A and B are shown apart, each in its own frame.
Chain A
Amino acid sequence: MNPFYSGTRLRDMIRAIRACKTAAEERAVIRKECAAIRASIDENDHDYRHRNLAKLMFIHMLGYPTHFGQMECLKLIASAGFPEKRIGYLGLMLLLDERQEVLMLVTNSLKQDLNHSNQYIVGLALCALGNICSAEMARDLAPEVERLLQFRDPNIRKKAALCSIRIIRKVPDLAENFVNPAASLLKEKHHGVMITGVQLCTELCKHSSEALEYFRKKSTEAMVKTLKDLVNSPYAPEYDIAGITDPFLHIRMLRFLRVLGQGDADASDCMNDILAQVATKTESNKNSGNAILYECVETIMSIEDSGGLRVLAINILGRFLSNRDNNIRYVALNMLMKAITVDAQAVQRHRTTILECVKDSDASIRKRALDLVYLLVNESNVKPLTKELIDFLEVADQEFKGDLTAKICSIVAKYSPEKIWYIDQMLKVLSEAGNFVKDEVWHALIVVISNASDLHGYTVRTLYRAFQRSSEQQESLLRVAVWCTGEYGDMLVNNIGMLDIEDPIVVTESDAVDVAETAIKRLGSDLTTKAMGMIALLKLSSRFPSCSERINNSIVQYKGSLVLELQQRSIEFNSIIASHQKMRSVLVERMPVLDEATFIGKRAGSMTGSASTSNAAAINLPNGVSKSSAPLVDLLDLSSDDVPVPSSSGGGFIQDLLGLDLSAAPEKSGSNPTPISGADVLLDLLSIGTSPPAQSTASATDILSNQEKSPTSQLDGLSSLSSLSANKPSAAVSSPTIDLLGGLSPNLASEDENGSVYPSIVAYESGSLRITFDFSKTAGSPQTTLILATFKNLSPNSYTDFIFQAAVPKFLQLHLDSASASTLPGSGNGSITQHLRVTNSQYGKKHLVMRLRIAYKVDDKDVLEEGQVSNFPRNL
């Protein structure tokens, strides 16, 4: 006997542990006990093995490591007596799980015990197997379990049935072996066997469609009859729960019927009567009865259509909703979510009750109810529902506001009947919970505001009021207010565009400037807000010349800002105000109307888009805020390095840059035929083509919008802005463009003949220059044409710094590879080649058309040639 082994009893150990005052004391006691148990294990002490393991289980429950006891479990299981086996199996289930390799060692003992003559020992083995069996054990022991399904003692049969469930879950292939014995369990009278049998059959149906077919044919009627007997059974004290005989069995049977009836009209028909009976006769004043009703409703909703039953079911849920028990209301909401796909009209009837649940104090009920309300909204009820939800927003918990706000915004955007209503609701949401509003949402709001030209004045005044009212500033409210004040400040001050419903307000020019200043000075404002504030100030300086001085002073303060973005803006804007008075009014003109359709398309594109990060980043900044003033060269490199995917928004980036906005064109092509004739488009294109730098610093929304406006004035403004942002206020616009395009590095390549099926054309010919195009198609994409452009110099002088540019209308996408060289020798003695790839989104409907611009130097003199190509083969 080990001298250290005190031999305390289990009860004494528990007492000793409970008597511990501190965690350290407890650890000391456990350490001592564990040492003793280890010693005892080392001595292979048979007498105490049983007690040791019991102690270890308790120690394990307290969270201490007990792996050294695992082998003891196996030894106990292997011993002969029932009490040893019992504690051994208990330890096995507690200390081990299916992933431990030790478990493999027990398979053999399990097999022996499953075949043991003592049915209690068989029961122990089944129980262990059911709780921890692994896939390998399942395969090894499935035949034993299958046999035990027919064992004479019902206690073994029910355990074997549940064991089979575990086996099928681990190894679904074994399902078919269990179908026949499982079917015979359904005929049993013993409730325990019956309920386990039903559960086994349900599980089998889940894993095997043959089993499902089999049970549908053979067991549906029998199951209906059994359920009927159970429903009509007299009082049975053994199974009675609150006046109902065995609600658990009811529920399992209803669930099984649901599996059988789903997708099968005959089976569904067969169970109609009994479902109606359960739905109408079950007592609903106790939880057990409601549990049955709940299961019954779910079954009715899932099986094949029978209108009458569904009305019954939804009425039950309606009763549930007005129940005072939260649990009942919760399950009702849960079920209504499912019911709404089946019968939305019936669910609508309970709308007011559901709306009340949104205001419940219990978060889980609120969440369910909100989800449900969201599904219930349609054009006809959007106004009252939104009003209720927004009213509730004021009093909702902080943690619920995020969810609620997102849902309201989504509802308002989806169902708004008119713009003024949309704007009103969004402003309410922004003032209540602006901090919870996502960026896309307020971006969308700005797009809508910009489009509602008759509401500009109304919106900016309402925003001003909301801004004045809100005590704790909501960031996104502030941003929208600042943007609108910058754009429509004059309307705010002069009360332009008053609607009948408005009260006039008196706002001075300096009040309006205050709004923008607040945005910059407020402590909590982030960079975007501050930057937007800066732009608003700049805009106001032009709208309100009298405040110009004051604005300049406050802008100048940020010249020394450590934040680069603010510093740069401050310097640039200061120089605009101070030294470019003439240009300023043009520069800060009101933003052109943002194109809604494009914005939505972009959003969809950037959400699903593959290579759209650049785009998404651009969309984030609708007010001339460009966080990365990325050098243009980089952007143009994009075009030569990246292969644009046709119609992906990522590929559209460079076209965006050129103001072509091609990425949206394929989506819109069906509904929105290009309203402008080709030539005009081309003219536009070239004028836009001169100012790519402008668009890179200007906002993306700006780029999105240049569909229906006169480009010139805006472009002038933008391009000068861009050169400003490069800190070169007086740089000419055209020269950087060409420089930048020159960044496409040229290299030499040999000329080769193109054997395409399309005739080559002379795309352009002047006295000194000839350009020929050779065409080919790649297999599988007929809309994409590869063009090999060959340039020949017919004059005696050689050309240097040769640059070829091309522009196409919106329905085309153009990708230019770099040219083979930049020097073109004279007298036709050599050529430059360049590959172009054109993707025609209107392939088959429209033909290719292209505008060219060629720049080069002869004797250090710049020469510029332009031309249009309209003689493309018709079927490209």
Chain B
Amino acid sequence: MIRFILLQNRQGKTRLAKYYVPLEESEKHKVEYEVHRLVVNRDPKFTNFVEFRTHKVIYRRYAGLFFSLCVDITDNELAYLECIHLFVEILDHFFSNVCELDLVFNFHKVYLILDEFILAGELQETSKKAIIERMGELEKLE
């Protein structure tokens, strides 16, 4: 199960934070700070998996952005790595060539995409096309 998803830039600014387990606000800030510290200075040759408290963080860097998933210790790391990539592809497709600024100004849309992709900490849809189409339908209702 995914505990939380973080999207942070190199400076540690959180661009997206989705928690599937309840945490206090102060705890969330601490988590975000700690995860950023863990991933930002890691040698790119190292694994994309870092132990974090009793869980593990699977992260992947795209340009200046770090996508981090915190998952259970028994979960399949490689699958979640693939999962991050799929999410990035969806964003890329949706914003056509996504960049950090897209995510800043359209943060609410990023959350909506994520809600179509992952729900309750589990995968909801694995087809990029289906999610993009669904987003299109929802946009029309606005």
Identify the A interface with B (CB < 8 A): 11, 14, 18, 54, 57-58, 61, 63, 65, 82-83, 86-87, 90, 93-94, 97-99, 120, 126-127, 130-132, 155, 158-159, 162-163, 165-166, 191-192, 195-196, 199, 238-239, 241, 246-249, 251-252, 255, 287-288, 290-291, 294-295, 298, 326-331, 361-365
Q: How far, in Å, is B62 (CB) from chain A's closest CB? A: 15
Q: Which 3 A-B pairs have the closest CB atoms?
A: A291-B78, A130-B120, A166-B120
Whether the Cβ atoms of B82 and A54 lie closer than 8 Å is no
Partner of B126, one of A54, A94, A239: A239
Q: How far, in Å, is B103 (CB) from chain A's closest CB? A: 11
Identify the B interface with A (CB < 8 A): 14-20, 22-23, 25, 29, 43, 45-51, 76-79, 81-83, 86, 104-105, 107-108, 111-112, 115, 119-130, 134, 137-138, 141-142
Whether the Cβ atoms of B47 and A326 lie closer than 8 Å is yes
- Given A287-B82, A361-B46, are A192 and B127 neighbors across the interface (CB < 8 Å)? yes
Q: How far, in Å, is B118 (CB) from chain A's closest CB? A: 9
Whether the Cβ atoms of A131 and B141 lie closer than 8 Å is no
- Given A14-B105, A199-B122, A248-B123, are A192 and B130 neighbors across the interface (CB < 8 Å)? yes
Whether the Cβ atoms of B78 and A54 lie closer than 8 Å is no
Q: Beyond A86-B138, A247-B79, A361-B43: 20 further Cβ-contacts under 8 Å?
A: A11-B105, A61-B15, A82-B142, A90-B108, A98-B22, A120-B138, A131-B18, A131-B115, A166-B120, A192-B130, A195-B125, A196-B122, A199-B122, A241-B86, A287-B78, A291-B78, A298-B76, A326-B46, A361-B46, A365-B47
Q: How far, in Å, is B45 (CB) from chain A's closest CB? A: 7
Report how many A-B pairs have Cβ atoms within 8 Å.
Answer: 148
Whether the Cβ atoms of B23 and A97 lie closer than 8 Å is yes
Whether the Cβ atoms of A364 and B46 lie closer than 8 Å is yes
Whether the Cβ atoms of A94 and B111 lie closer than 8 Å is yes
Q: How far, in Å, is B55 (CB) from chain A's closest CB? A: 14
Whether the Cβ atoms of B45 and A87 lie closer than 8 Å is no
**In the complex, which residues of chain A have a beta carbon less than 8 angstroms from the beta carbon of B49?**
327, 330, 364
Q: How far, in Å, is B34 (CB) from chain A's closest CB? A: 15
**In the complex, which residues of chain A have a beta carbon less than 8 angstroms from the beta carbon of B46?**
326, 361-364
Partner of B78, one of A58, A166, A327: A327
Q: How far is the CA of A127 from the CA of B121 in the complex (A)?
A: 11
- Given A163-B120, A330-B77, are A291 and B104 neighbors across the interface (CB < 8 Å)? no
- Given A57-B108, A330-B49, are A165 and B141 neighbors across the interface (CB < 8 Å)? no
Could you list 29 A-B pairs, sorted by A, with CB under 8 Å? Answer: A11-B105, A57-B107, A82-B141, A82-B142, A86-B142, A87-B108, A97-B19, A98-B22, A120-B137, A162-B119, A163-B120, A166-B121, A191-B125, A195-B125, A239-B127, A247-B79, A248-B79, A248-B83, A248-B123, A287-B81, A288-B78, A288-B82, A294-B78, A326-B45, A327-B77, A330-B47, A361-B43, A361-B46, A365-B47
**In the complex, which residues of chain A have a beta carbon less than 8 angstroms from the beta carbon of B76?**
251, 255, 291, 294-295, 298
Q: How far is the CA of A126 from the CA of B111 in the complex (A)?
A: 15
- Given A192-B130, A295-B79, are A327 and B48 neighbors across the interface (CB < 8 Å)? yes
Whether the Cβ atoms of A83 and B141 lie closer than 8 Å is yes
**In the complex, which residues of chain A have a beta carbon less than 8 angstroms from the beta carbon of B86?**
241
Main secondary structure of the interface of A (DSSP, over half): helix
**In the complex, which residues of chain B have a beta carbon less than 8 angstroms from the beta carbon of A362?**
43, 45-47
Whether the Cβ atoms of B108 and A192 lie closer than 8 Å is no
Nearest A residue to B48, CB-CB: A327
- Given A90-B112, A326-B47, are A159 and B78 neighbors across the interface (CB < 8 Å)? no
**In the complex, which residues of chain A have a beta carbon less than 8 angstroms from the beta carbon of B119?**
126-127, 130-131, 159, 162-163
**In the complex, which residues of chain B have a beta carbon less than 8 angstroms from the beta carbon of A331?**
77-78
Whether the Cβ atoms of B120 and A131 lie closer than 8 Å is yes
Q: How far, in Å, is A99 (CB) from chain B's closest CB? A: 5
Whether the Cβ atoms of B78 and A290 lie closer than 8 Å is yes
Nearest B residue to A17, CB-CB: B104
**In the complex, which residues of chain B have a beta carbon less than 8 angstroms from the beta carbon of A364?**
46-47, 49-51
Partner of A165, one of B15, B122, B125, B130: B122
Whether the Cβ atoms of B104 and A14 lie closer than 8 Å is yes
Whether the Cβ atoms of A83 and B142 lie closer than 8 Å is yes
- Given A61-B17, A87-B108, A98-B22, are A248 and B78 neighbors across the interface (CB < 8 Å)? no
Whether the Cβ atoms of B142 and A246 lie closer than 8 Å is no
Whether the Cβ atoms of B141 and A120 lie closer than 8 Å is yes
Nearest B residue to A11, CB-CB: B105
Partner of B111, one of A82, A83, A90, A298: A90
**In the complex, which residues of chain B have a beta carbon less than 8 angstroms from the beta carbon of A65?**
25
Q: How far is the CA of A82 from the CA of B112 in the complex (A)?
A: 14
Whether the Cβ atoms of A162 and B120 lie closer than 8 Å is yes
**In the complex, which residues of chain B have a beta carbon less than 8 angstroms from the beta carbon of A86?**
112, 138, 142
Whether the Cβ atoms of B45 and A247 lie closer than 8 Å is no
Whether the Cβ atoms of A238 and B124 lie closer than 8 Å is no
**In the complex, which residues of chain B have a beta carbon less than 8 angstroms from the beta carbon of A326?**
45-47
Q: How far, in Å, is B127 (CB) from chain A's closest CB? A: 5
Q: How far, in Å, is A72 (CB) from chain B's closest CB? A: 15
- Given A58-B107, A61-B17, A155-B134, are A291 and B82 neighbors across the interface (CB < 8 Å)? yes
Whether the Cβ atoms of A327 and B82 lie closer than 8 Å is no
Q: How far is the CA of A241 from the CA of B17 in the complex (A)?
A: 26
Q: How far is the CA of A361 from the CA of B46 in the complex (A)?
A: 8
**In the complex, which residues of chain B have a beta carbon less than 8 angstroms from the beta carbon of A93?**
111, 115
Whether the Cβ atoms of B23 and A165 lie closer than 8 Å is no
Q: How far is the CA of A364 from the CA of B115 in the complex (A)?
A: 32
Partner of A191, one of B78, B121, B127: B127
Q: How far is the CA of A126 from the CA of B78 in the complex (A)?
A: 29
**In the complex, which residues of chain A have a beta carbon less than 8 angstroms from the beta carbon of B108?**
54, 57, 87, 90
Q: How far, in Å, is B79 (CB) from chain A's closest CB? A: 4
**In the complex, which residues of chain A have a beta carbon less than 8 angstroms from the beta carbon of B47?**
326-327, 329-330, 362, 364-365
**In the complex, which residues of chain A have a beta carbon less than 8 angstroms from the beta carbon of B104?**
14, 18
Whether the Cβ atoms of B141 and A199 lie closer than 8 Å is no
